[in-house]
Amino acid sequence: MKLHNTNAMLRDAQSNHYAVPAFNIHNLETFQVVVDTCHEMRSPVIIAATPSTVRYADKDYLIALTGTAMEKYDIPMSFHLDHHEDVKEIETTVAAGCRSVMIDASRLPYEENVAKVKQVVAFAHTCGASVEAELGKLVGQEDDLVVADADSAYTNPDDAVRYVADTGIDSLAVAIGTAHGLYKGRPKLDFERLKEIRSRVDIPLVLHGASDVPDELVQKAISLGICKVNVATDLKIPFSNAVKSFFKENPEANDPRKYMTPGKEAMKAIVRHKIEVCGSQNRC
């Protein structure tokens, strides 16, 4: 089945003041938990994969899995490349059927960032794919992507207006104080900055680094215009902890179907909770 881009999903979320959850998956089990739970809760979903996940699971399998899930479930769904930096790899994956990509050129100077993003936009739009890009830098680690505290940068509202016009992107990831991975203290989000960006930029806005952020802060960000929320670390930790606990209690276990099941159950509870935080349940 032909995959969909994320434009319609995000525009609906923007119009109706909720957020579409973008869950990072890593294997068949995590994929199953995400799509099954979203179907149960009638939530649209973006299945996100970082470069290391695509290398691990293979783009063709991930695209095929998404197509199968779309035939099985009648909810809005898209497979999305998250934090990809290699233009050729993006083009290859779009050519294979992916219809939603994030080109991350945020570590580059503004003009180089724009030039790289425009290249991806030109190719992706020709194929019917949507493009997300990031302006500013989030600290922390997202798989292979590492940004030190000293290199962090908030999104400048003036630059955001110019960036959207210069690149032609479909959605914008903003840096307002979130971080990838776990936080060293309570996150402090710059909501005034978000308000100004939302008032001046009309495309959907994306919140990266939503794991470990208190629910009330995520919900406030959604109320101020965020319509896509990325979740990764909050899924990996309970899944892994449940598998570790199973082996402590069953050291001789060797059947993946048995030791993966507790991980799936632990992750399912988190997926359900994140859907509720996003307000995306019963939207389809």
List pLDDT tens digits, range 199-237: 999 999 999 987 778 999 999 999 999 999 999 999 999
pLDDT at 147: 44
Catalytic residue among 12, 58, 60, 82: 82
233 annotated as belonging to a binding site for a ligand: yes
Flag whether 181 is marked binding. yes
Least confident of 28-32, 120-124, 163-167, 173-177: 173-177
CATH top class, domain 6-278: alpha beta
| Range 54-61 average pLDDT | 97
What's the pLDDT at 116?
Answer: 98
Q: Shortest CA distance to 211 belongs to which of 31, 65, 48?
A: 48
For tokens 């939207």, the residue is 283
232 is in an annotated binding site: yes
Q: Is 58 a catalytic residue?
A: no
Give the separation between CA 155 and CA 136, rounded to whole angstroms.
5
Q: Is 240 annotated as a binding residue?
A: no
Residue 140 in this model has a pLDDT that exceeds 80: no
Mean pLDDT of 262-271: 96
- Cα–Cα distance, 143 to 176 (Å, whole number): 21
The two three-digit tokens of residue 101, written as one number:
């990509």
Straight-line distance from the first to the last Cα atom of the chain, in angstroms, rounded to the nearest whole number = 19
> pLDDT category, 250, cuts 50, 70, 90?
very high
Is 83 marked as a binding-site residue?
A: yes
**208 labeled binding residue:** yes
How far is the CA of 248 from the CAs of 109, 245, 262, in angstroms? 49, 5, 13
More confident residue, 180 or 160: 160
Radius of gyration, alpha carbons of the chain: 18
C-beta separation of 31 from 41 below 8 A: no
> Measured between alpha carbons, how far is residue 8 from residues 44, 204, 251 in Å?
11, 10, 48
Please report, rounded to a whole number, the percentage of residues in the chain having pLDDT higher than 90: 85
Q: Is 134 annotated as a binding residue?
A: yes
Q: Give ∠ CA 241-242-246 in degrees, rounded to 5.
A: 115
User: Is 211 annotated to bind ligand?
Assistant: yes
The whole-number average pLDDT for the span 88-103 is 98
Q: Give me the pLDDT at residue 121, please.
A: 98
Q: Residue 113 pLDDT > 50, yes or no?
A: yes
Q: What are residue 67's phi and psi, to 5 degrees?
A: -60, -40
In degrees rounded to 5, what are phi and psi of residue 11?
-65, -40
Local structure of 4: helix, strand or coil: coil
Q: Is 230 annotated as a binding residue?
A: yes
- Alpha-carbon distance of 49 to 6, in angstroms, equals 14
Cα(228)–Cα(206) distance, integer angstroms: 5
CB 31 within 8 A of CB 67: no
